Amino acid sequence: MSFALHYLDRTDSTNNYLKRLLQDQGCESLPDLMTVYTFYQTAGRGQAGNSWESEEGKNLLFTTLLKPQGVKPTEQFRITEVVALAVYETVRTLIPESMPELSEAVAVKWPNDIYVFDKKLSGILIENILEGSEIVSSIIGVGLNLNQEVFLSPAPNPVSLSQLTGLTYDLHATMQLFLSSLSSLLPLLDKPQELHERYMSRLYRRQGMYEYMEREVSVVPTAVARSGEGESFMASVVDVDEFGRLVLLTSDHEERTYHFKQLRFVI
């Protein structure tokens, strides 16, 4: 299957580049799954405005335009699930069969980072564009650490696939691999239960009790706001709800629900 790919030697940000194309040409003129990719960007960013470290020529940095059909704004977490699974499947494919323990360690850290053991391999940033009651397009930005050997930023736990496997990866081929994976998974957008079950089965810390820390006011099922910034507690994952909120059960048997950035995983 062929995809509309636009390679850049360097750019400020593939997200910014694709947004400029959308502004200049309009969404309708650009094909679904059109992808801008590079191996070097000067102003890459992650969630909440964080920067994304990537040594020139070592990693895959790209932005894909997705035109989801029939996904309502209230259902937009489905897009997060399907994209995270596509990156997850790409990574699993790149790990040799002779390394089953490493392959089993790949997981989706809520909401959409890709982790191996307790190390961050990939970050995903999704911006949905709405018109009325429909999502007309999604701008999917991904940074995937493939061949970088040394990380210099203060980020606490980055890792590359090369560091884990000892192999060197073809960045162009990996770009094609991701798009093939995403294309094969897109039908799951119309099968939300199957999509969610698959997402949950790949979730980091899916089983067991782990330490977490609250960052700000949380939302509990009774809709009562409760402050607790800085509180550390032990909990297990119950679910991720349809709005993308993480549901935890504490060691005191209290169920708590968190939006993104209200919670820190203690690693």
133 band by pLDDT with thresholds 50, 70 and 90: confident
Do residues 80 and 71 make contact, with C-beta atoms less than 8 angstroms apart?
no
**pLDDT (mean) for 111-119:** 97
- Phi and psi at 173, nearest 5°, equal -65, -35
Per residue in 142-188, pLDDT tens?
999 999 999 987 778 999 999 999 999 999 999 999 999 999 999 99
Residue 131: its pLDDT value, please? 87
87 band by pLDDT with thresholds 50, 70 and 90: very high
Per residue in 196-232, pLDDT tens?
999 999 999 999 999 999 986 544 544 444 444 577 9
Is residue 133 helix, strand or coil?
coil
Residue 48: its pLDDT value, please? 45
Question: Is the preceding omega at residue 111 within 30 degrees of 0, hence cis?
Answer: yes
Q: Which helix (H) or strand (E) holds 164?
A: helix 161-165
3-state secondary structure 59-91: CEEEEEEECCCCCCHHHCHHHHHHHHHHHHHHH
Per residue in 27-44, pLDDT tens?
999 999 999 999 999 876
Model confidence, pTM: 0.91
- Residue 67 and residue 31: Cα distance in Å, rounded? 9
Residue 215: its pLDDT value, please? 86
Question: What percent of the chain lies above the pLDDT cut of 70?
Answer: 91
Q: All domains of the chain, ordered by start, with CATH?
A: 5-201 (3.30.930.10), 210-265 (2.30.30)
From its phi and psi, is residue 49 left (phi > 0), alpha (psi between -120 and 50) or beta? left
Give the contacts of 258 (CB within 8 A, at least 6 positions apart).
214, 218, 219, 245, 246, 248
Give the contacts of 36 (CB within 8 A, at least 6 positions apart).
6, 8, 11, 14, 17, 18, 21, 62, 63
Question: What percent of the chain lies above the pLDDT cut of 90?
Answer: 83
Residue 67: its pLDDT value, please? 96
- Which residues are registered as beta bridge partners of 235? 210, 250
- Which residues are registered as beta bridge partners of 61? 38, 143
Average pLDDT, the chain: 91
